[in-house]
């Protein structure tokens, strides 16, 4: 290629300088430390609660914070140390306001 053709080709494939990227990951802003509820731990919780005759919906636990906190509180009323330990570990995820639609002040 000739030098003029090379610069024309480079200009044709380069994005305009002010144009934002179409790749969503390029403009992604991370929170301090996003945390997700570990599904295995949630599954363990629902099975332990079922062992005490308490039906717990994992989907509702993930979608309704009030329901999740109520179920965790119920777990503490039962005489089961393993269940209480799992409930305490889950509490750290469900007590985190970042995952519940609260506006973050920056």
Condensed to tens digits (0 to 9), the pLDDT of residues 64-77 reads 989 999 999 999 99
Threshold 0.75, pTM exceeds: no
Q: 27 with 20: CB under 8 angstroms?
A: yes
Q: 61 with 43: CB under 8 angstroms?
A: no
Q: 67 with 60: CB under 8 angstroms?
A: yes
- Cα 23 to Cα 38: distance, rounded to the nearest angstrom: 28
pLDDT of res. 92: 85
Condensed to tens digits (0 to 9), the pLDDT of residues 15-68 reads 555 555 556 555 555 555 556 778 999 999 999 999 999 999 999 999 898 999
């Amino acid at each position: 290629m000739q030098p003029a053709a090379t610069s024309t080709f480079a200009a044709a494939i380069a994005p305009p300088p002010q144009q934002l990227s179409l790749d969503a990951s390029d403009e992604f802003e991370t929170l301090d430390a996003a945390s997700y509820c570990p599904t295995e731990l949630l599954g363990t919780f629902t099975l332990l609660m079922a062992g005490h005759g308490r039906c717990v919906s994992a989907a509702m636990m993930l979608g309704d914070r009030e329901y999740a906190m109520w179920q965790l509180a119920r777990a503490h009323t039962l005489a089961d140390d393993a269940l209480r330990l799992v409930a305490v570990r889950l509490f750290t995820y469900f007590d985190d306001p970042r995952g519940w639609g609260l506006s973050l002040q920056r």
